[in-house]
Amino acid sequence: MPPMTELTNPPAANPPAANPLRGVFWMVVTGVLFVGVTALVKWLGTRIPAPEAAFLRFLFGLFILLPVLRPLLRMRPSKRIWTLFCVRGAVHTVGVSLWFFAMARIPIADVTAMNYLSPVYVTLGAALFLGERLAARRLLAVVAALVGAVIILRPGFREVEPGHLAMLFAAFFLGASYLIAKRLTQECSPVQVVAMLSVTVAIGLAPLAVMNWVTPSLGQLGILAAVALLGTAGHYTMTLAFRAAPLALTQPVTFLQLVWAVVLGALVFGEPIDLWVVLGGTMIVMAISFISFREAQLKRRAVTPPVPATKV
C-alpha cells in the first residue's frame, strides 16, 4: 500500500459539503481500491518475506513519484527537520513491515478492522504530545474503539495469532507516522513530505529485505507493482473525496471497506465470516466517525485522520 501522501490532510480552504454525493462516491471508490490492495497482498501470501515485499512495493512507489523527486534535490531543511524525516521513515518502516507480515497470516477482515485503530492511536497521541484537549466525549469514543479491538481479538476465547499482534503494533506505528507527518507539513511542502517518506522507508527496508532475500518471479513483481499503483490511486481518489465533502461526512463510508473485506475473504480466500470481527470493526469506525463529527462541530483544527490516511 502507498505511503501517506499530502492528500491525507483535507485542505482547509475548501468549502464544507460542497458536493456531498460526490464526496461519498469518491470515498467508496477509495475503499474499493484499498481493498484491492489488501487482496493482492493476501494473494502474494508468505512466498515473499514481509520486509522484502514492503521494500519492493516502496521501490515501485518511488518510480511512480519520479516526477516530484527532483524538488528534493533543492531542499535545504534544518537539522531538526531532517531528524523528523528520518524518525518518521524509521517508524513507518516498522509499521509497513508489520502490516505485510499480518496481511499474509490473518484474515483480510481482521486486518481491515484492526487498521481502523490507527486514527484512535492518533487521537491519543495528539492529546499526549501535541497538547490536544481530550474531552470526555472523545475519551468515551476512544474507549469504545478499544473495546471494539478487544471484541475482535477476544483473548481467552480464541487463539491470538502472531499476525493479530503484528497488526496491533502496525496500526500504532502507522498512527505515529501520521502524527509526525502532521508536524512536518507545518514547515515543509506536502510533496516534500511524501517524497521523503518514500525515500527513507525504501532505504530503511533495503537491509531488512537483503537479509532474507527471495528472488521474486515476474508475476510476484507484477502483483507488487499493482499494489503500488492501486494504493497511489486510492490516495488520489481520497483527495477528491476531501475536496467534495467534509471528513465528518466521508469518514463513516470507510465502514464499507470492512464489508467488502469480509465478502472478499469469504468468496475468494475461503475465510469464515466472523461476526465478532464485524461488530468490533463497526464499533471502531463509529467511534472514529463520532470524533471527526465533534471536531467539525466545534470547528477545531482536525487531528483525527480519515481511515485511509493511515494506510501503508
Per-residue pLDDT of 97-154, as tens digits, reads 999 899 888 898 998 889 888 888 888 887 777 677 777 888 888 899 889 999 998 8
Query: How far apart, in Å, are the Cα atoms of 300 and each of 29, 240, 253?
Result: 28, 22, 22
125 versus 280: the higher-pLDDT residue is: 280
**Calpha distance 236→6 (Å, rounded):** 10
**Predicted confidence (pLDDT) at residue 15 exceeds the cutoff of 60:** no
- pTM here is 0.79
**Predicted confidence (pLDDT) at residue 207 exceeds the cutoff of 90:** yes
pLDDT at 280: 92
pLDDT at 90: 94
Cell of 301: 483544527
Residue pair 154/276 in contact by the 8 Å Cβ criterion? yes
pLDDT at 86: 93
pLDDT at 55: 92
